[in-house]
Amino acid sequence: MEQTVEYAHATGTLSGIWLLVAIPLASAAILLLLGKRADKWGHWLGVLAVAASFVLGLVFFIKLGGLDAEHRSAELSMWDFIAVGNLHVDFGLLFDPLSGIFVLLITGVGSLIHLYAVGYMEHDPGRRRFFGYFNLFVAAMLLLVLGNNYVMLYFGWEGVGLASYLLISFWYGRPSAATAGKKAFLMNRVGDTGLAIGIFIMFATLGSTQYSYVFSNVGALSSTTVLVLGILLLLGAAGKSGQFPLQAWLPDAMEGPTPVSALIHAATMVTAGVYLIARSNHIFSANHTLQTIVVSVGAFTLLMGCIIGSAKDGIKRVLAWSTVSQIGYMFLGVGLGGGAYALAIIHLVAHGFFKANMFLGAGSVMHGMHDEEDIRRFGGLRKHMKWTWLTFMMGWLAIIGIPPLSGFFSKDPIIEAAYARGDWTSWLFGTAALLGAGLTAFYMTRLFVLTFHGPERYTEQNKHPHESPFIMTVPLMLLALGSIVAGFLLSRHSAIPQWLEPVTGEGEHDPVMNKTLISILVLAVSVGGAGLAWALFSKGTALQEQPAGVVVTAARRNLYTDAFNEAVFERPGIYLTRALVFLDNKGIDGLVNGIAAGVGGSSGRLRRLQTGFVRSYALSMLTGVVLVVGAFLAIQLGWLA
């Protein structure tokens, strides 16, 4: 990369971008600090704060659109965040096309989900606390995408991690929620450590973490450094986005309230990894091996998510694995580089809508079914929940890529781009993506059919399912509209790639197959998968888990990844800690306790010198005087020194 990257200074209206972060942050502070006093109106403040950010974001976005492509960015340095020695970190923000899209997604989808949560959490005693955390999340996420250097990004990164952890274990009374929170926290720690070391390397080799500086000078680094740096960033991205090998926490994170699953673990936070890679595109594009690694992770994860998703019976579990798999598509996109960055972002936005739509739909179903999650216990719900059914259907059609819904316009180009990688790997990754599309259609149709169609299989206490209140269905309708309309908007194919061009650059190979042929193949595979699922499940399904072959059993066990983690990391880890505890008790504790006893003992003895008598104080001072004067004279006479 020989190009220099510069950002224009924020002027005029755009110098107010800090408000985007400040408003939800202030609201979170008010909600969490006021305590019970805010119980009555707190949730509305929470909704209002995010909506205000959205309106502001929209204004800034339009302003930004008015600038020409050369200067389409606004960088705002607020103050010196850290300044020690050579390390200078600005507290600065950057609003450019990429962060603009994210801001709109976060605040737009965020507002709808906040609104939905007002209804969903109505009977929960912790509703105000919930909205406090929720606002905190929005503020941190906005900081993540708006920072103008990696340290700010890391700040937001840890902030969303914290909010996610707090919200997963929101019902901390349930052991499963507490464990899921812990699992998310630990797995994220692995990724975050990678990101942190990556930032250290950046500072050590380039002396700065500022985006503009890093991207302008990445060409000066050796290719090994770029590779290591990229892998570390990728580790961070994989941790946050639930990609292989750090995917296990994401499905468990569904223990949190459903709006959390929709906003944090489907639409926004989990896409932070994609943002990180898209933002660092100058680093990733600088090394081909690195790109191959990203693409492999994406392709592997997307297939894995599909396979496991096909075998799950919890409505939110299936959606969670589907999220893992869809983010795999995005990783595949950003790994391909060039114009595919924009394709990944398109898919990210489209996914944000339809997945949030389906998660909220799932929440609505559970709301009407006494929190039942098992799709084997649903069936025929379309008669009882008209709106939920209709809106969920839009999400379903969108994700499996039926034209003219948004998934078709966002996933299809990624598959095309995978076929256009340029060497034999085109076949590998393209076919993986194609296969994924078929599997996606299969498991999503299974989910849809078992929930809304076929015979009713309700349990005793769920005899009378009912539709959710208005406040929950309205966001569903708006999101469904997004799942449809996003397709039309994005179908003006070059709009978003052109918009993002100042950030990601362009460039494209020709696919190894005819584009039209690929489109037809994708559609055929999707319809085939969906048809197969419809045929298999429209009559309902067994209520108990049935014995199954090797593949299905493996899929039910998450392809043994948990077992793998347990065998390879957890067990040796436990043995290691036991060994260390032993060493610690015998060796280090002995030393530490010895030192502590020594300090305590000498403290006790020294205390006795503090007699309270002025005469002895004067004597100790005199001793000091004699010693000090003596030392000075000794130096003067040359005895010391």
**Half-sphere exposure at residue 565, Cβ-oriented, CA atoms within 13 angstroms:** 15
How far is C-alpha 434 from the chain's CA centre? 25
- Which CB atom, from 583 or from 640, has the smaller least distance to other proteins? 640
Question: Residue 76 in 3-state DSSP?
Answer: strand
- Which CB atom, from 550 or from 606, has the smaller least distance to other proteins? 606
- Which CB atom, from 162 or from 485, has the smaller least distance to other proteins? 162
Rounded Cα distance between 234 and 195, Å, is: 8
- Which CB atom, from 219 or from 598, has the smaller least distance to other proteins? 598
For 122, phi then psi, to 5°, come to -55, -40
Report CA torsion sign: 31, 36, 37, 38: positive
Min separation Cβ 17 and other proteins, Å: 19
For residue 86, count CB atoms less than 10 angstroms from its CB and return exposed for 0-12, middle for 13-18, buried for 19 or more: exposed
Instruction: Give the largest Cα separation in the chain, rounded.
Output: 104
For 512, phi then psi, to 5°, come to -75, -15
Helix H segments across 385-468? 386-400, 406-419, 425-452
Min separation Cβ 25 and other proteins, Å: 14
Min separation Cβ 181 and other proteins, Å: 22
Q: First vs last Cα of the chain: how many Å apart?
A: 56
Kindly tell me which residue out of 423, 569, 600, 639 binds other proteins, with binding defined by CB under 8 A.
600
* Residues 212-241 contacting other proteins, CB under 8 A: none
Min separation Cβ 238 and other proteins, Å: 28
Q: Which range, of 76-84, 243-251, 474-482, 520-528, touches other proteins by CB under 8 A?
A: 76-84
- Which CB atom, from 548 or from 595, has the smaller least distance to other proteins? 595
Contacts of 433 (CB under 8 A, 6+ apart): 299, 302, 329, 332, 414, 415, 418
Q: Judged by CB under 8 A, does residue 602 bind other proteins? A: yes
Q: For residue 309, what are the CA distances in angstroms to 312, 527, 598?
A: 6, 18, 60
Q: Which range, of 195-203, 335-343, 463-471, 607-615, touches other proteins by CB under 8 A?
A: 607-615
Min separation Cβ 593 and other proteins, Å: 13
Rounded Cα distance between 607 and 183, Å, is: 48
- Which CB atom, from 542 or from 609, has the smaller least distance to other proteins? 609
Q: Of the candidates 337, 333, 357, which has an alpha carbon nearest to the alpha carbon of residue 345?
A: 333
Torsion from C-alpha of 567, 569, 575, 579, nearest 10 degrees: 160
Min separation Cβ 24 and other proteins, Å: 19
Kindly tell me which residue out of 220, 574, 576, 640 binds other proteins, with binding defined by CB under 8 A.
640
- Which CB atom, from 155 or from 213, has the smaller least distance to other proteins? 155
- Do residues 537 and 449 lie in contact, with contact meaning Cβ atoms separated by under 8 Å? yes
Instruction: Return the beta strands (E) in 434-506 as ranges.
Output: none
* Residues 608-637 contacting other proteins, CB under 8 A: 610, 612, 614, 617-618, 620-621, 623-625, 628-629, 631-633, 635-636
Q: Which range, of 47-55, 189-197, 521-529, 606-614, touches other proteins by CB under 8 A?
A: 606-614
Min separation Cβ 630 and other proteins, Å: 9
For residue 119, count CB atoms less than 10 angstroms from its CB and return exposed for 0-12, middle for 13-18, buried for 19 or more: buried
- Which CB atom, from 524 or from 625, has the smaller least distance to other proteins? 625
- Which CB atom, from 159 or from 454, has the smaller least distance to other proteins? 159
- Do residues 53 and 23 lie in contact, with contact meaning Cβ atoms separated by under 8 Å? yes
- Which CB atom, from 28 or from 306, has the smaller least distance to other proteins? 28
- Do residues 240 and 274 lie in contact, with contact meaning Cβ atoms separated by under 8 Å? no
Min separation Cβ 14 and other proteins, Å: 23
Min separation Cβ 158 and other proteins, Å: 13
* Residues 370-409 contacting other proteins, CB under 8 A: none
* Residues 79-98 contacting other proteins, CB under 8 A: 79-80, 83-85
Min separation Cβ 143 and other proteins, Å: 15
* Residues 329-348 contacting other proteins, CB under 8 A: none
Report CA Rg, the chain: 28
Min separation Cβ 536 and other proteins, Å: 57
Kindly tell me which residue out of 66, 175, 547, 604 binds other proteins, with binding defined by CB under 8 A.
604
User: Token digits for 323?
Assistant: 């999220």
Contacts of 593 (CB under 8 A, 6+ apart): none
- Do residues 240 and 273 lie in contact, with contact meaning Cβ atoms separated by under 8 Å? yes
- Which CB atom, from 582 or from 632, has the smaller least distance to other proteins? 632
Question: Residue 471 in 3-state DSSP?
Answer: helix
Q: Which range, of 296-304, 325-333, 402-410, 593-601, touches other proteins by CB under 8 A?
A: 593-601
- Do residues 209 and 151 lie in contact, with contact meaning Cβ atoms separated by under 8 Å? yes
Geometric angle at alpha carbon 332, from 510 and 292, rounded to 5°: 80
Rounded Cα distance between 26 and 50, Å, is: 11
* Residues 239-298 contacting other proteins, CB under 8 A: none
Helix 495-504 vs helix 272-279: angle between axes, to the nearest 10 degrees?
60
Min separation Cβ 148 and other proteins, Å: 17
- Which CB atom, from 34 or from 67, has the smaller least distance to other proteins? 34
Min separation Cβ 616 and other proteins, Å: 8
Min separation Cβ 604 and other proteins, Å: 6
Site string for other proteins, 27-66 (x = CB under 8 A): ----------------------------------------
Q: If residue 516 lies in a helix (H) or strand (E), which one and from where to where?
A: helix 515-537
Rounded Cα distance between 401 and 440, Å, is: 9
Q: Applying CB under 8 A, what is the total number of residues that bind other proteins?
A: 32
Instruction: Return the beta strands (E) in 451-601 as ranges.
Output: none
- Which CB atom, from 85 or from 125, has the smaller least distance to other proteins? 85
Q: Judged by CB under 8 A, does residue 588 bind other proteins? A: no
For 77, phi then psi, to 5°, come to -90, 120
Min separation Cβ 637 and other proteins, Å: 8
Site string for other proteins, 538-577 (x = CB under 8 A): ----------------------------------------
Min separation Cβ 442 and other proteins, Å: 50
- Which CB atom, from 78 or from 567, has the smaller least distance to other proteins? 78
- Which CB atom, from 33 or from 517, has the smaller least distance to other proteins? 33
Query: Where along the sequence are the contacts to other proteins (CB under 8 A)?
Result: 79-80, 83-85, 596, 599-600, 602-604, 606-607, 610, 612, 614, 617-618, 620-621, 623-625, 628-629, 631-633, 635-636, 640-641
